[in-house]
Amino acid sequence: MGDAFRYEKQKWDKSHNVPEFKVGDLVLLSTLNFDSIKGPKKLKDSFLGPFFIVALHGTNEFEVELSGESENEGTTFLVSLIKPYKSDDKKLFPLRNSTTLTLPPGEQSKDKKIKKVIKERRLRGKNQREYL
């Protein structure tokens, strides 16, 4: 039994990487346990962020400064729910183009007025109306 334990410990130590996060690092948070994000699960983002690490609680927990929709969630997360944020650096990725959205020429004006409602319907499961 002792030999099996030592063998498993060696395997674990060989493949296990200790996370090297510091206070002030930017990280992404997994949305696995976030209940405040509504909508179909398959359309949700896998990670939110970037957020700053505020404090370390041992080697396995981090306190993160949340903002926006996720402010109501807890601020302490396990290492398994955090991944480092890598910014889009032009030196590292010289061929990556930044995308810019452009509106078609007919849709440039913001102050459009509705001339006529052709059809209306109620959205299923919601108390909202959609006008066509």
* Structural domains of the chain in order of their starting residue, each with its CATH number: 9-87 (2.30.30)
How far from chain centre, in Å, is Cα 122? 31
- At 71 the pLDDT is 63
Task: Give 10's pLDDT tier (boundaries 50, 70, 90).
Answer: very high
d(CA 73, CA 29): 11
More confident residue, 61 or 128: 61
DSSP the chain: -HHHHHHHHHHHHHH-------TT-EEEEE-TT--S--S-GGGS-SEEEEEEEEEEETTTEEEEE--GGGGGS-SEEEGGGEEE-----TTT-TTPPPP-----GGG--S---------EEEPTTSS-EEE-
- At 59 the pLDDT is 82
| Beta carbons of 55 and 22 less than 8 angstroms apart | no
Mean pLDDT of 7-31: 88
More confident residue, 34 or 82: 82
41-50 long-range CB contacts below 8 Å, 24 or more apart? Answer: 47/83, 49/85, 50/26, 50/85
Asked if residue 76 has pLDDT above 60, the reply is: yes
More confident residue, 71 or 11: 11
Task: Give 87's pLDDT tier (boundaries 50, 70, 90).
Answer: confident
Q: What percent of the chain has pLDDT over 90?
A: 12
Q: What is the pLDDT of residues 30-75, one digit of tens each?
A: 988 877 777 787 888 888 888 899 999 888 898 988 876 666 667 8
Mean pLDDT of 81-94: 80
